[in-house]
Chains A and B, each alone.
Chain A
């Protein structure tokens, strides 16, 4: 999948979980520091990524992903 397209889908998922406009989310936004995710929302994000992309993520590794850019790379590695 094209990186640009993957990035848009990631942002859409994040916006959905954190209840915000995808436009507000920058490419390298930190889920906690920039977007204000709490610990519960971090878990929700992992679940939402799995559902959106039809994949199963290693939860520990997934939770250490902190930014949109990291999430894009991380998910891309599962889609290869």
Chain B
């Protein structure tokens, strides 16, 4: 049956009636505690316990089967053991229930029979057009007064707020709830989605995009099953103005399996994830603390109009630390007008520093904070205010916190605070947190959170989405070549095949020719023009340099003759059985910077492209960038700019600026190639030799690896 996910999710988050299926009377067990939580949260609807044995639970009439409930039910929460979940679910389907949460574990996560159980559950959901959250999850919380539902076995209902939290891990949810409770951080929706057998994080993102109660979305993810789907959903949500913060587990490099290409070995799961998130505008967080540091900045304060800040501090050192951090994060310290300076001068002691950062001196009481805050908020060049406090004997911590809250309440400019310390400042921090002033123990965290909010405000609208395509390509020819090669049981294209492939996609390829005899080699080298490069062509030899199959910078006939013989000898020594098709003669470019462009396939995200400067930059410094194809022009540019070595391409220390435009074009052509031909498994264009600006670039070598048949 066709399902309307949005309508079904509304039944889950805003149900008029809930059945807790598999409920019991045993306090401290999941079935009982879920029922209790629903009752304690003042759910705005009717609850039906469903239990095979009990006639009533917690003073409420219980039903033997869901089908015995006389009225319609919107949401069923299943807490039966996994072995009988399908029986309960089938009844829910027959009853016409469209929203289901399966709390029970014992599905895909246990393997074997569990996988079958999960499959069966999904089939039943599809048969009846139901949507299921879980299995193997903590449940769902909606703080919206219209519903007030705590359908989970968390210890408590969080405060109402504008942050939505989604998690693949149930246990992390309870830790986060506890953390947030202590800091008065509220939530709009709190969703533990477990094994995501039916409803995925992608469905939830689309749902939360339209949820008026949600301003910012936080997610803990362990595995990404549909990378492109996640990126598409994220872009849609971000364009609607809601930032997405993801804490992605699995940062370890074990995913970077040994691979046959540079790109394959450089692109581990984590690098790919980083690139995909960046490309989609998702903010990736390193840990829970950083995630909430940024989340409260989004949730509590308006977006800044610019990155010009004012720092107000009663402590010199922390003021300097904050200034350093602000500059490091790309923020600017606003330059105060004469009017503001004279107002500060008049009202602050002579020892105070009235220029930004404003140091109101260690003995400052609330009146000085008031003067400085008012001046900063009235100053037109200031678009955000950072307040710092350290606790001296006379510091009125509580009053100053209240003053900040009061001023913030009347202002459209964002204000952040850092009360440094722990014990003495805690009361003030509590005031700030209750009043939704983002607070940070470290000024550095404050600057970082603000910088991320500012970047988001600048980029969310103007990220281009057009994917450029080139018409001067011959895709059928390339597909035919690939299919033919695979059907011959081969996994690699030879050099001349690879070059024909590149030419068919409009890549600038160096003039080349294949020679099978010395005389032919001399003839071809003269046609192409000296100096030339000579390379062996053989199906059996992929790493040509290792086999001694490449000789560079040959200036004349004699050198070509010598090289021809040397290559054949080297190759024979390296692999006596390798049959040699011939020697490739290629134009040698002398004034070029070498870059590498690569492609590999990822299980979750599909085609991944890599860019890096050639030679040691790739090998030693791993200075490379990744993006998921297809690329926009913006993506291609960003790939280049992201590498530290990009400065070299732009020309530093007397080096000539290079033809970056041509690299962008090559990346876009590679992107088109990657998308059009899924049978290309990995590919290295290494090097692409980039000439000075306006003079183009040439592919000097390429390695193409195809999918196994």
Which residues in A have some Cβ–Cβ distance to B below 8 Å? 18, 20, 30, 32-36, 38-39, 66
User: Which residues on A sit within 8 Å (CB–CB) of B80?
Assistant: 32-33
Distance (Å) between the CB of A53 and the closest chain B CB? 24
Measured between C-beta atoms, what is the minimum distance from A64 to chain B in Å?
8
- Please give, as numbers and ranges, the residues of chain B lying within 8 Å of A39 by CB-CB distance: 81
**What is the number of contacts between chain A and chain B, taking CB atoms within 8 Å?**
26
Name the segment of B83-91, B232-240, B325-333, B335-343 touching the other chain: B83-91
Tell me the bound Cα distance from A36 to B53 in angstroms: 5
Q: How far is the CA of A21 from the CA of B24 in the complex (A)?
A: 20
Contact across chains for A32 and B81 when beta carbons are under 8 A apart: yes
How far does the alpha carbon of A20 sit from the alpha carbon of B55 in the complex, in Å? 13
Q: Is the CB of B52 within 8 A of A35?
A: yes
Cα–Cα, bound, A53→B24 (Å): 31
Contact of A30 (CB < 8 Å), options: B24, B51, B53, B84: B84
Q: Which residue of B lies closest to A34 (CB)?
A: B52
**Nearest residue in B to A33 (C-beta to C-beta)?**
B84
The interface residues of chain B, by DSSP majority, are classed as loop
B84 near A32 (CB under 8 angstroms)? yes
How far apart are the CA atoms of A44 and B162 in the complex, in Å? 49
Chain B, interface size category, equals: 10 to 19
Residues in B neighbouring A38, C-beta threshold 8 A: 24
List residues of B whose CB falls within 8 A of some A CB: 24, 51-54, 80-81, 83-84, 87-88
Separation of A38 and B52 alpha carbons in the complex (Å): 11
- Inter-chain pairs besides A32-B81, A66-B83, 10 sampled, C-beta below 8 Å: A18-B53, A20-B53, A30-B84, A30-B87, A32-B84, A35-B52, A36-B51, A36-B52, A38-B24, A66-B84
What B residues does A32 contact at CB under 8 A?
A: 52, 80-81, 83-84
The 5 A-B residue pairs with the shortest CB-CB distance, nearest first, are: A36-B52, A36-B53, A33-B84, A33-B87, A32-B84
B residues in contact with A33, CB < 8 Å: 52, 80, 84, 87-88
Contact A35 B81 (CB under 8 A): no
**Complex CA distance for A35 and B53, rounded to whole angstroms:** 6
Q: Which of chain A's residues have a CB closer than 8 A to the CB of B81?
A: 32, 39
Docked pose: A80 CA to B54 CA in angstroms:
38
- Least CB distance from A71 to B in Å reads 15
Q: Which residues of A contact B53 (CB under 8 A)?
A: 18, 20, 35-36
Minimum CB–CB distance from A26 to chain B (whole Å) comes to 12
Give every chain A residue within 8 A of B51 (Cβ-Cβ).
36
| Chain A residues whose CB sits within 8 angstroms of the CB of B84 once the complex forms | 30, 32-33, 66
Q: List 18 A-B contacts (CB under 8 A).
A: A18-B53, A20-B53, A30-B84, A30-B87, A32-B52, A32-B80, A32-B81, A32-B84, A33-B84, A33-B87, A35-B52, A35-B53, A36-B24, A36-B51, A36-B52, A36-B53, A39-B81, A66-B84
Q: Chain B: which residue is nearest A35 at the CB level? A: B52
Distance between Cα atoms of A18 and B53 in the complex (Å): 9
Docked Cα-Cα span, A56 to B402, in Å, equals: 74
Separation of A20 and B83 alpha carbons in the complex (Å):
22
**Chain A residues near B52 (CB-CB < 8 A):** 32-36
Nearest chain A residue, comparing its CB with the CB of B21: A33
Min CB gap B186→A, angstroms: 37
